[in-house]
Amino acid sequence: MAIAGTKQQFEATWVGLAPSFSGVYALWNGDELIYIGGTNQIRGLRARLTDHLYDDDPCIKQATHFQYEVTATPWLRERQLVLEFSGVHGALPRCNDVIPSGIPYV
Q: What confidence tens digit (pLDDT) does each residue in 11-44 have?
A: 999 999 999 999 999 999 999 999 999 998 889 9
Q: Is residue 45 part of a domain?
A: yes
SS3 category, 25: strand
Structural domain count, the chain: 1
Confidence of residue 106 (pLDDT cuts 50, 70, 90): low
Read off the pTM: 0.93
Residue 74 in contact with residue 25, Cβ under 8 Å?
A: no
DSSP letter at 79 equals H
Q: Is residue 12 part of a domain?
A: yes
Q: Is residue 99 part of a domain?
A: no
Residue 67 is part of which domain span?
Answer: 8-89
CA distances from 58 to 53, 54, 61, 63, 93 (A): 11, 11, 5, 10, 14
Domain containing residue 41: CATH number: 3.40.1440.10
Residue 95 in contact with residue 61, Cβ under 8 Å?
A: no
